[in-house]
Amino acid sequence: MSNIELPDDCAKQWEILLLLISAEEKKIDRTSDGEIDTMNYFFKNEGIRRILLQWLQQMKQSYAKKMSETDTALKSDEVALLWRQKGNDKFRANRLEDSYRCYMKSVLYAPQDGPMYPLALANRSAALLRMKRFQECLSDIKLALASGYPNEQRHKLLLRRADCHIELGQRTKALEALNASSQHAASLKLSAAQCAEFERHIRDLERKVEVIVEEEKVEDGVIPECYKGLNENFHAASNAIELRRNDTAGRHVVTCHATRRGDVLFSEEPYACVTLPTGTDSAVCDNCCKSSVNIVPCSACSRSVYCGAECRSRASAVFHRWECVGAQADLFPTVGIAHLALRVLLVSASDGFPKVPTTEPEPRTAEQLFNSYSRVDSVQIYKHDTPAFYRMFNLVTNFDKMNNADYIQYALAQRCITVTGRTARVTSQRTDAHNYARSTCSRATVPRVRTQRGGTLCRCSPRTRASRARARCCGADAAPTASSARPTSSSPRRLLQSRGRTNSWRKLNVPPPPEERCEKALASFKLKQQVLHRHHTALRTTADRLARIYADVGEFSKSVELIKQNIQSLEYQFGSFSVEVAHELRKLSDVMLERLVNSPQHPDCREWCLEAHKIIKKAVQLMELNYGSWEPLVKRLREHEAVVASMLAHSRTPETANNIHHNLHYNLKI
């Protein structure tokens, strides 16, 4: 073991350490041991403890620090100021999206007890106002004022708050904000020029207030109830299904009423969930897993973000005060599923472990306690009055089917997490969520499971007859991916020449021009077409990358054709109503809309409008089916549908208006 060379990056050492330690321990078969016995063995093993402590210390030294001029795991006024200045430059150039992203990073890195944090929030609120994201703008203004925004500038924030309320049709709140702004400005010693400018803004906003009507807006995104109501004997389930148990199938679900595609069969909150790295700038709330949020970061680290102050407070009280040190050291993306195990433990401890059933003797050891929790009726625990802890604790573990090496590695991962928890400091406080409910279903299973705003929905897929069992296992019903091994016709000389040109651009440290990127991507795509099956995942990935490049350079029609090929492939593998097809249709609609916007005078523009309108309608149908009408993506697609319908209406001429062919084409059933 001492002769093994580990990677320099300590994050890449984790899996190797697991393999090495499990190889050393493989002489002892631990699959027959109980979970507690195995954990105790590794907990008391001083050699393993020293190895894990040393690795954790290396992770902390490598990641819990300022990583570069633009990134830090902790907080830094210098990094926050750099991003704020970049945001100001983008804002002056009217690049609102770019400025918003810069201000978001400034908020992320700014110490929350210093002056940089409220300034970053105020800057971000200005970008949000220009982007017409008024509710988020109001949240930033409120947080900036509560975080010590400079007194001499507060009247400007109050004016911005009034502007948001006006845009939202909230007349009363707008007047209150205007009055508060006027009163605060009166308490300041403003210059004559400043007073004149302030009064001009007040008059402009007062004129806007006079023409708005107070209205109560219904909150978007209300999750619908389960089909036929909630089942009293089956927690978070529809009355259309029942939970049963027999010797043949074990515990399973059957339908007791006929169901149709899209009926909501389950809707529940996860017992515990963790976020997974997305590799994009899209932020996910670490508490409720809401995506694309206007972040409110942890007050101590820059690795955990939330959708608002309420989620941040709850996360701090339940789990993040213990996890913060691990987040700073970038531990959780490295250890993977062990993070979820830790979160389950912390959530359970926060809520309080339930008492054992009255039929069980008082436990005196952890093993006796676990046995008492296990000796419960596996059907009765799904009733409404049973604590959620029992449903989580009695999930099937499949430990009895696990090989010895895997068993040891799970124990080692938990030992590492335990060491982290014991050394963690209590503080005052990362396009997809991972929780125990979703882990029971794969993307190709029926029914479909989706996470939505901190809850999980299970929607019926095909039409189901009453009393028909729906027992499916993960991954088994996914269509196989075939491949072919036909020889390639590309010459080695041609490939070497291509590689040489690419290397020359790398030496100059500049990206190749778009034309060369298209050429390389197209050559790669054609090469893979010769050696891979037409439905191979790698071929779809290459086509998707090429379509993106075509769209970037304005070749929208070529991009559309490639995405259509991918849709046919996805329909073959996952089905015409799958979420994979839904997202590809959404992508196709975006490219089609971009083509229409960029080429409004093209002779084929009307035909493009007709096609885009049909594609968007189908995308809306599939997104509603897989996610529900409350999903923000559905709202966005409906807005696109309205835009294309408007363009289509304006493109109609007297000749086409009465053309039977065009009317039939427009009204084709999708």
Q: Mean of the per-residue pLDDT values for the chain?
A: 80
Q: Please spell the DSSP secondary structure of 579-633, one letter per residue.
A: HHHHHHHHHHHHHHHHHHHH-TT-TTHHHHHHHHHHHHHHHHHHHHHHH-TTSHH
Using DSSP, state whether 526 is helix, strand or coil. Answer: helix
Segments making up each domain of the chain, as ranges: 68-210, 226-270+440-473, 492-666
| pLDDT for 449 | 52
Query: pLDDT of 406-463, one tens digit each?
Result: 766 766 676 666 656 555 543 333 333 333 333 333 333 334 555 555 565 566 655 5
How many Cβ atoms sit within 10 Å of the Cβ of residue 101? 18
Band (pLDDT 50/70/90 cuts) for residue 666 is very low
| pLDDT for 343 | 93
- d(Cα 223, Cα 432) in Å, to the nearest integer? 19
| pLDDT for 585 | 94
Q: Is the dihedral of CA 26, 31, 35, 37 positive or negative?
A: negative
- d(Cα 612, Cα 640) in Å, to the nearest integer? 10
3-state helix/strand/coil string of 465-501: CCCCECCCCCCCCCCCCCCCCCCCCCCHHHHHHHHHH
What are the residues whose beta carbons fall under 8 Å from the beta carbon of 248, sequence distance 6 or more?
none
201, two tokens: 């803004």
- Closest-CA residue to 557 (of 585, 584, 595): 595
The CATH number assigned to the domain with range 226-270+440-473 reads: 2.170.270.10
Measure the CA angle with vertex 236, ends 266 and 269; round to 5°. 85
Strand partners, 297: 305
Query: pLDDT of 640-655, one tens digit each?
Result: 898 888 888 877 654 4
Using DSSP, state whether 241 is helix, strand or coil. Answer: strand
Query: pLDDT of 470-500, one tens digit each?
Result: 433 333 333 333 333 333 334 433 433 444 4
| pLDDT for 658 | 45
DSSP state of 169: T
| Higher per-residue pLDDT: 441 or 373 | 373
| pLDDT for 17 | 82
* Residue 104, CA distances (Å) to 10, 69, 148, 293 in order: 29, 16, 18, 10
Mean pLDDT score, 563-584: 93
3-state helix, strand, coil in the chain (%, to 5): 55, 5, 35
* Residue 146, CA distances (Å) to 149, 181, 317 in order: 7, 16, 21
Q: Are 626 and 450 in contact (CB under 8 A)?
A: yes
Question: Quick check: do 68-210 and 492-666 share a fold?
Answer: yes
Q: Decide if domain 492-666 falls under CATH 2.60.40.10.
A: no
Band (pLDDT 50/70/90 cuts) for residue 289 is confident
Residue 39 has pLDDT above 90, yes or no: no
Fold of the domain spanning 68-210: 1.25.40
pTM of the model as a whole: 0.71
* Residue 267, CA distances (Å) to 56, 230, 264, 426 in order: 39, 9, 7, 34
| pLDDT for 260 | 84
| pLDDT for 415 | 63
- Closest-CA residue to 185 (of 155, 161, 162): 155
| Higher per-residue pLDDT: 488 or 98 | 98
Band (pLDDT 50/70/90 cuts) for residue 4 is low
- d(Cα 356, Cα 369) in Å, to the nearest integer? 8
| pLDDT for 124 | 97
287, two tokens: 């508490």
Mean pLDDT score, 243-254: 89
Lowest average pLDDT, out of 67-71, 117-121, 314-318, 661-665, goes to 661-665
Mean pLDDT score, 279-305: 88
- d(Cα 309, Cα 297) in Å, to the nearest integer? 9
| pLDDT for 663 | 41
| Higher per-residue pLDDT: 94 or 425 | 94
Query: pLDDT of 523-545, one tens digit each?
Result: 999 999 999 988 999 999 999 99
66, two tokens: 């300022």
| pLDDT for 627 | 80
| pLDDT for 467 | 46
Mean pLDDT score, 228-247: 91
Mean pLDDT score, 240-252: 89
Q: Are 165 and 174 in contact (CB under 8 A)?
A: yes
**Long-range contacts, 493-498 (Cβ 8 Å, 24+):** 498/523
Q: Please spell the DSSP secondary structure of 325-389, one letter per residue.
A: HHHHTT-HHHHTTHHHHHHHHHHHHHH-PPPPPTTSPPP-SHHHHHHHHHSS-TTGGGSTTS-HH
324, two tokens: 């913060």
